[in-house]
Amino acid sequence: MRHLISRLRLNFGQKLFLIATLPLILTAVAILAVVTLQSRQLAEREIETLEAQLIEAKCADIKNFLSIGRTAFVNIHGRAGPE
């Protein structure tokens, strides 16, 4: 146990280095966490927007295909009479 404690004792230069670099490292980690969180949130919003746009485009395509089908049916079979 004494051997471990004696190894953990730092000289003045090492203490000064730790005091100078520790806030920098903690700040970098905090910035990394915030950027990662914001990136995930932005990606989720983009995915939701893209999904909504794809659904709207598919609905428009379906309406267009139905219109084409109706037009083709009317042109082939003619308008139905009041029979």
Residue 51 maps to a domain: yes
What is the tally of structural domains in the chain? Answer: 1
Q: Which domain, by its residues, includes 51?
A: 2-77
* 64 against 15, higher pLDDT: 64
Give residue-wise pLDDT tens across range 50-71: 999 999 999 999 999 999 988 8
Residue 28 maps to a domain: yes
Q: State which amino acid sits at residue 19.
A: I
DSSP label at residue 50: H
Residue 35 maps to a domain: yes
Rg (CA), the chain: 34
Residue 82 maps to a domain: no
Under the banding of pLDDT at 50, 70 and 90, the label for residue 9 is confident
Residue 32 maps to a domain: yes
Residue 83 maps to a domain: no
Give residue-wise pLDDT tens across range 32-44: 999 999 999 999 9
Q: Is the pTM of this model over 0.75?
A: no
d(Cα 29, Cα 23) in Å, to the nearest integer? Answer: 10
Residue 70 maps to a domain: yes
Residue 8 maps to a domain: yes
d(Cα 63, Cα 68) in Å, to the nearest integer? Answer: 9
